[in-house]
Amino acid sequence: MILVGFVGTQYYLIQFVEQTSGEFTIANLIAFDWARFMADGYANPAASFISVDVAIGLAGFIVFCVAECSRIKMKMGLVCIPVALFVAYAVAWPLFLLMRERHLEAPE
């Protein structure tokens, strides 16, 4: 699922960069137009629905991630928060679940 989440989201990220910058290069990725990206997420009611849904899910994920990492003393689990913010929520959530399961099954 992590790979599916990564490929599925990054495909559209590359398309966005190409559409707004002409081609997908590291320089164009660094100069990413966050304002346009966020505005496009609210381009119509369907996009707005998905954007709000993901934003609320992301907020819940961050709260759960912090609480669960604290509860089970999993320090590395917090790396999933920047992954969610800068890569994709669809990558961070299955990654967190995988890390959590491995942490819980690890011998003490």
Compute CA distances 45 → 20, 63, 87, whole Å.
Answer: 22, 27, 24
- φ/ψ of 42, rounded to 5, equals -120, 30
State the pLDDT at residue 61: 97
pLDDT value of residue 107: 85
Predicted confidence pLDDT, tens digits, the chain (108 residues): 889 999 999 999 999 999 999 899 999 888 889 899 999 999 999 999 999 999 999 999 999 999 999 999 999 999 999 999 999 999 999 999 999 999 999 987
pTM to 2 decimal places: 0.85
Q: How much is the pLDDT for 30? A: 87
pLDDT at 38: 93
Contact criterion met (CB below 8 Å) for 95 and 4: no
Q: Which two tokens stand for residue 57?
A: 């899910």
The dihedral region occupied by 73, where left means phi > 0, alpha psi between -120 and 50, and beta the remainder, is left
Main-chain dihedrals φ then ψ at residue 25, nearest 5 degrees? -135, 165
